[in-house]
């Protein structure tokens, strides 16, 4: 099995805030990420597809098609947006990286299946900062 990766970039703002908690508790748990005026990140999304190379092309997936798919289905919807306010699939959800990457999987998995003949979406890695990132395997 071969794993092929595509990295995309987007900028977005969010805040971590539980409306059921007091301002003090939100600040205690989320620190500066609970800033009332939001904060932003330069996110990196790595989409990993697994499969066997097509005998005619040698590709597991056409990376140009994968890039177009990721941009159309995810990046265009989150880039330069407020994740808490502007992104429909995050409505009513805590705008954590964990929740965000699960929503990305929900959106991307069926679309990746359409362009990969032998395999599918394997893993998503979402970097919030160079040192903080999450990985999701669709489980």
Cα(28)–Cα(19) distance, integer angstroms = 14
Q: Look up residue 89 and give its two tokens.
A: 């699939």
Cα(11)–Cα(40) distance, integer angstroms = 7
- Among 33, 41, 98, 103, the active-site one is 33
CA–centroid distance for 11 within its chain: 12
Sign of CA dihedral 33, 89, 73, 46: positive
- Among 14, 41, 97, 128, the active-site one is 128
- Among 23, 80, 98, 135, the active-site one is 80
Q: Catalytic annotation on 97?
A: no
* Catalytic residue numbers, as ranges: 33, 80, 128
């Amino acid at each position: 099995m071969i794993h092929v990766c595509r990295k995309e970039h987007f900028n977005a703002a969010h805040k971590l805030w539980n409306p059921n908690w007091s301002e003090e508790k939100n600040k205690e748990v989320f620190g500066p990420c609970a800033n009332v005026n939001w904060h932003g990140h330069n996110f990196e999304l790595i989409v990993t597809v697994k499969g066997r190379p097509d005998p005619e092309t040698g590709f597991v997936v056409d990376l140009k098609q994968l890039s177009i798919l990721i941009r159309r289905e995810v990046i265009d919807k989150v880039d330069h947006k407020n994740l808490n306010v502007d992104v429909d699939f995050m409505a009513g959800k805590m705008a954590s990286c964990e929740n965000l990457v699960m929503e990305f999987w929900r959106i991307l998995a069926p679309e990746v299946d359409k362009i990969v003949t032998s395999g599918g979406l394997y893993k998503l890695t979402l970097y919030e900062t160079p040192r903080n990132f999450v990985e999701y395997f669709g489980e």
